[in-house]
Amino acid sequence: MAHVLGQNQYGKAETRVVRIYRDSTRHEIKDLNVSVALSGDLDDVHLTGSNAHCLPTDTTKNTVYAFAKEHGIESAEAFGVHLARHFVDNNEPIHRARIRIEEYAWDRIRTPDNSARFIGSEEVGHSFVRSGGEIRTAQITYDGDSFQVISGLKELTVMNSTNSEFWGYIKDKYTTLKEAYDRVLATEVTARWAHSWSGAGDQPNWERSYTHVRRHLLEAFAETYSYSLQQTLHAMGSRVLNNRAEVDEVRLELPNKHHFLVDLEPFGLKNNNEVYFAADRPYGLIEGTVHREGVVPVIPVA
Ligand SMILES: O=c1[nH]c(=O)c2[nH]c(=O)[nH]c2[nH]1
């Protein structure tokens, strides 16, 4: 019985590229993990043994490094747009490119030492410490006609130590959860947001856009008096759409990082919402998309 070759794609995954800008003594760093996935007229590669349509994954890796030198890395998104356009526009059998990028942030190390090799304001121009915070993500897809850019972040852990309640839910014979009128709300945010830019006109200022979207996500989390993580999710997505015209859709994955009050009665102590057991699993997983009216959501539901 003949089998059908279904969707397929290939490319070098997780090319780690670090680009250092040495234009002054205050160096700049871009640290990316780039995964290329190409698809197109690739039946023969799978079916006949002919590699005539196959651009080697090794070449896609080399292209990442060469572009880091030749074009620089202005932002993860701009770099991905560049790569995607290159692979599709220059290789006839390749009809679609999907570039996934993770970006790791570095902070500058500051020191009180004022010796000559330091560049003022206690900042060391060439010394960095990897930021402990979130990982920035980007996915750029190009089909020869238009681009789709989905920016994002993951591992952004946040907590509200009050202003969160959860009550009034369905109760059945298996329900043991006590209604909460003042609880800890903590989550590790995974967010992705789709841009309206699809190739025409200038690209958005991706760095600026990212900074503001991140800020709005955090501000909405902090400012929402929450009756559920679902409500907080909607507030976070809405706030981004209300404030960032370049974004059409926001998808959030919010694990509820439960903080359970520890029973201190056995020790003769009263727990006034002060001592918690931070459980790591299982966790409630709250996921949802908020998008503009009339926009067809494009962010895949993972
Ligand atoms: O914000 C919450 N949403 C839920 O759906 C839920 N379910 C649960 O047990 N705790 C919570 N908290």
What does the block give as tokens for 187? 């989550």
* Residue whose entry in the numeric block shows the structure tokens 């003042």: 182
pLDDT reported for residue 10: 98
Per-residue pLDDT of 173-206, as tens digits, reads 999 999 999 999 999 999 999 999 999 999 999 9
User: Would the pTM of this model clear 0.90, i.e. be above it?
Assistant: yes
Which domains, and CATH codes, for the chain? 7-145 (3.10.270.10), 153-302 (3.10.270.10)
- What's the CA-to-centroid distance between 299 and ligand 1, angstroms? 24
| ipTM of the modeled complex | 0.99
pLDDT reported for residue 122: 74
- 16 Cβ neighbours under 8 A, 6+ residues apart: 31, 32, 33, 34
Catalytic residue among 27, 53, 57, 95: 57
Note if 257 is an active site residue.
no
Residue 17: phi, psi to the nearest 5? Answer: -125, 130
Per-residue pLDDT of 6-36, as tens digits, reads 999 999 999 999 999 999 999 999 999 999 9
The upper half-sphere exposure of residue 244, i.e. CA atoms within 13 Å in the direction of its Cβ, equals 31
Pocket of ligand 1 (CB under 6 A): 166, 177, 228-230, 256, 284
What amino acid is encoded at 62 in this protein? N
Ligand 1 atom closest to Cα of 227?
A: 1
What does the block give as tokens for 7? 């969707």
Ligand 1 atom closest to Cα of 226?
A: 1
